[in-house]
Amino acid sequence: MALQKSHYQDGFIRDSCKDSVSPPPAECEAILRDMTENHFEVAWIFILGSLSIYYGWCIAICYSFFKVVEVGGTGEEKLPYEALGRLMEHEKLVKDAGV
């Protein structure tokens, strides 16, 4: 990441300061380096945070889908997981009593 940052910053700063007259190019580069110091890291943190939230949401959806599939997906999916467990135990007891 540091290599990308230096490439991004150096190119931007060089292009921005090459025609500078009022502050000399060296001073212009120093000023721009100070101003753009943290923007690259902030952008990466924002991107990584957004991706973490998105993938966390996807994992939660997949987890809940697998829980529904695990209990058989009989149409009782609106019940909480504990109630579905009790329902499955009841169905097992009824099935065992009928045998």
pLDDT tens digit string along 70-86?
777 665 566 777 877 88
- pTM for this predicted structure: 0.46
Q: How many CA atoms lie within 13 A of 95 on its CB side?
A: 6
Domain residue ranges in the chain: 1-37, 51-99
- For residue 5, what pLDDT is reported? 55
Residues 32-77: tens digit of each pLDDT: 777 777 777 788 899 999 999 999 999 999 988 888 777 776 655 6
pLDDT of 29 higher than 70: yes
Mean pLDDT (whole number) for 11-24: 73
- For residue 52, what pLDDT is reported? 97
